[in-house]
């Protein structure tokens, strides 16, 4: 047993989970800030972005060291590759949270209007996707990750609906254009977060099953069966 | 050109101890096949069965079938004839210490009755070029003994000696384990080039080496072939948990 190497992998896993927690928290705070028009939460999202960025650098550095020094193979190699990609996705999730917070700060300066879009519902679906993607990573379960992939279409539809409704609002009520644009951008940012959660889920499936399911390419079913009980 | 090797239900014993159990493997012609596994798993016994060296051990015996191209290795073919067609390189370079470089390479040919000087000169040069040693020794072929070369050069000399009798298959039993990284790199590069003309089976403890040089890899454990597949499959997504545990260092 390569104890030191296994400890290195466990440490990498812990760091990624910590970073996942920060990214998930940033999205939740930004969405809550939207609901409450809470500028202090927006500021927290902005302030915490540097922590996420620092975590991204640390994780990449550690993964790079493990690749160079330990020459990992098979499931360990797949794990480290998955971690580096998830790391990048989580950093982008943090960026999207910042974008949402900035839109909320802009909205807070404008008169409050009723927009025909359910951002909290969309935010709830996106948060669930991020949380489940991270759970699939924690538990090393491809089935959980698969469920995340299936949720992506739901969020895409919400974004499309929001787009149509908000464009109509801008046409019908030009005085609500700025608020509509902010809401539209928030919906777009949330849909991007969902895309990153989908990427994370795909990377978990790659790690656990050794199957590349990106871009809707389904792996050979016999291959999936062989890998299903492993890890 | 190299030929393929078809191993069918191969079993091997040392006295009453069974070292190999029902091995089936198709070794592809003109490719390198790596054999990996923990110490005592039977990988060296396996390659020694391919050229009938296993039977040189007292009380050792073999059942099953090995076909090398059209040749039935264990049925109707003399062991000497088999070994002429299957060259072997060992872990520790073993040049004949008192012979010159030239005579080391020519030794197998002379034993087989080749004495034409012009032909011998040609084959020695060709073999040393094939083993990427020619440029380093061409000016001292008859002046220097094989033992005067560095470890890496000695191993390439042994490869040249094996190639001189024009085998179709080259077996290598941990050929780089006693060599430094530079010499190892040269041997690995050589293996890559030799595949054009020979079929290569390499036993190695070094999994990075297997992944660098071989298109196919077989994982042995306790005398059984656990998994045999394309090398990239074995080292990225092996099908058997035991293979994965071994190559990731979780046991062995």
Say yes or no for a CB contact (<8 Å) between B238 and A5. Answer: no
Are A72 and B241 inside 8 Å of each other by CB? no
Contacts of A185 (CB under 8 A, 6+ apart): A99, A103
Question: Which tokens go with B135?
Answer: 């440029």
CA atoms within 13 A on the CB side of A211: 25
- SS3 string, chain B, reads CCCCEEEEEEEEEECCEEEEEEEEEEECCCCEEEEECCCCCCHHHHHHHHCCCHHHCCCEEEEEEEEECCEECCCCCCHHHHHHHEEEECCCCCCCCCCEHHHHHHHHHHHCCCCCHHHHHHHHHHHHHHCCCHHHHCCCCCCCEHHHCCHHHHHHHHHHHHHHCCCCEEEEECCCCCCCHHHHHHHHHHHHHHCCCCEEEEECCCHHHHHHHCCEEEEEECCEEEEEEEHHHHHHCCCCHHHHHHHCCCCC
Q: Which helix (H) or strand (E) holds A61?
A: helix A39-70
List chain A pLDDT tens, one digit each, 231 residues.
678 899 999 999 999 999 999 999 999 999 999 999 999 999 999 999 999 999 999 999 999 999 998 889 999 999 999 999 999 999 999 999 999 999 999 999 999 999 999 999 999 999 999 999 999 999 999 999 999 999 999 999 999 999 999 999 999 999 999 999 999 999 999 999 999 999 999 999 999 998 888 776 665 555 555 544 443
Contact B249 A1 (CB under 8 A): yes
- Residue A1 in 3-state DSSP? coil
Q: How far apart are CA B19 and CA B12, in angstroms?
A: 5
Residues A12, A66 contacting (CB under 8 angstroms): yes
CATH number where A114 lies: 1.20.58.220
Number of domains within chain A: 1
Locate tokens 């500021």: which residue? A43
Residue A212 contacts B where some CB pair is shorter than 8 Å? no
Best CA proximity match to A57, nearest among A90, A33, A24? A90
Measured in angstroms, the CA of A62 and the nearest CA of chain B are apart by: 18
Question: Is residue B15 left, alpha or beta, with left meaning phi > 0 and alpha meaning psi from -120 to 50?
Answer: left
Nearest CA in chain B to A224: B239
Token pair in block for residue A49 = 């972005």
Classify residue A76 by its DSSP letter. H
* Interface check B237 vs A, CB under 8 A: yes
- Alpha carbon distances (Å) from B87 to B82, B84, B120, B171, B220: 9, 7, 18, 6, 22
Stated pTM of the model? 0.82
Cβ of A74 within 8 Å of Cβ of B247? The answer is yes
Residues A5, B244: C-beta atoms closer than 8 Å: no
Chain B: nearest CA to A210, how far in angstroms? Answer: 6
Residue of chain A nearest B246, judged by CA positions: A1
A76 to chain B nearest CA, in Å? 7
- Identify the residue among A73, A77, A80 best suited for mutation to test binding to B, counting B beta carbons within 10 A and taking the highest: A73
Taking CB atoms and an 8 Å cutoff, what residues of chain A touch B235?
73-74, 77
Domains of chain B: 5-247 (3.40.50.300)
Find all residues with CB under 8 Å of A216, minimum gap 6, and list them. Answer: none
CB neighbour list of residue B178: distance below 8 Å, 6 or more residues apart: B91, B92, B93, B151, B155
What are the tokens at B216? 């196919």
Q: Do A73 and B239 touch (CB under 8 A)?
A: no
Dist. CA A110–CA A113, nearest whole Å = 9
Q: Does A230 touch chain B (CB under 8 A)?
A: yes
For residue A149, the enclosing domain spans 3-228
Task: Answer yes or no: do A74 and B239 touch at CB < 8 A.
Answer: no
How many beta-carbon pairs below 8 A join chains A and B?
Answer: 37
pLDDT tens track for B120-178 = 999 999 999 999 999 999 999 999 999 999 999 999 999 999 999 989 999 999 999 88
Rounded CA-CA distance B199/A150 in Å is 48
Q: Work out the average pLDDT over B189-199.
A: 91
On chain A, the residues whose CB falls within 8 A of the CB of B251 are: 1
ipTM topping 0.85: no
């Amino acid at each position: 047993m390569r104890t030191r190497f296994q400890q290195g992998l466990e440490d990498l896993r812990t760091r990624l989970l910590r970073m996942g927690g920060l990214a998930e928290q940033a999205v939740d705070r930004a969405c809550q800030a939207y609901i409450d028009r809470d500028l202090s939460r927006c500021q927290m999202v902005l302030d915490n972005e540097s922590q996420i960025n620092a975590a991204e650098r640390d994780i990449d550095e550690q993964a790079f060291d493990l690749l160079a020094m330990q020459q990992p193979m098979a499931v360990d190699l797949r794990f480290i590759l998955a971690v580096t990609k998830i790391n990048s996705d989580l950093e982008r999730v943090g960026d999207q949270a910042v974008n949402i917070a900035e839109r909320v700060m802009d909205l807070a300066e404008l008169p409050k209007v009723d927009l025909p879009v359910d951002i909290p519902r969309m935010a709830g679906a996106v948060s669930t996707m991020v949380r489940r993607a991270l759970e699939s990573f924690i538990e090393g379960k491809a089935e959980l990750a698969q469920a995340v992939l299936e949720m992506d279409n739901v969020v895409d539809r919400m974004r499309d609906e929001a787009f149509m409704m908000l464009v109509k609002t801008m046409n019908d009520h030009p005085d609500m254009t700025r608020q509509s644009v902010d809401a539209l951008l928030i919906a777009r940012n949330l849909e991007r977060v969902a895309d990153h959660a989908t990427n994370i889920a795909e990377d978990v499936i790659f790690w656990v099953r050794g199957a590349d399911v990106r871009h809707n390419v389904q792996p050979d079913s016999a291959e999936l069966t062989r890998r299903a009980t492993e890890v | 050109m190299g030929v393929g090797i078809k191993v069918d239900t191969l079993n091997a014993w040392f006295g009453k101890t069974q070292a190999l159990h029902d091995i089936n493997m198709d070794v592809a012609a003109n490719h390198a096949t790596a054999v990996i596994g923990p110490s005592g798993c039977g990988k060296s016994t396996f390659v020694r069965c391919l050229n009938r060296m296993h039977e040189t051990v007292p009380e050792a015996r073999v059942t099953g079938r090995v076909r090398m191209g059209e040749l039935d290795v264990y049925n109707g073919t003399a062991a000497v004839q088999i070994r002429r067609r299957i060259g072997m390189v060992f872990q520790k370079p073993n040049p004949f210490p008192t012979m010159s470089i030239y005579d080391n390479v020519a030794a197998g040919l002379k034993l087989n009755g080749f004495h034409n000087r012009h032909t011998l000169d040609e084959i020695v040069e060709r073999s040393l070029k094939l083993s990427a040693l020619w440029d380093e020794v061409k000016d001292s072929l008859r002046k220097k003994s094989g033992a005067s070369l560095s470890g890496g050069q000695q191993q390439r000399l042994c490869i040249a000696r094996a190639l001189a009798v024009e085998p179709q298959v080259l077996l290598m039993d941990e050929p780089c384990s006693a060599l430094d990284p530079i010499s190892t790199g040269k041997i690995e590069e050589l293996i890559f080039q030799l595949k054009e003309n020979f079929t290569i089976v390499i036993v190695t403890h070094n999994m990075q080496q297997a992944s660098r040089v071989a298109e196919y890899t077989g994982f042995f454990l306790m005398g059984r072939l656990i998994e045999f597949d394309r090398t990239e499959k074995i080292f990225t997504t092996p099908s058997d948990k035991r293979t994965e545990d071994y190559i990731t260092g979780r046991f062995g």
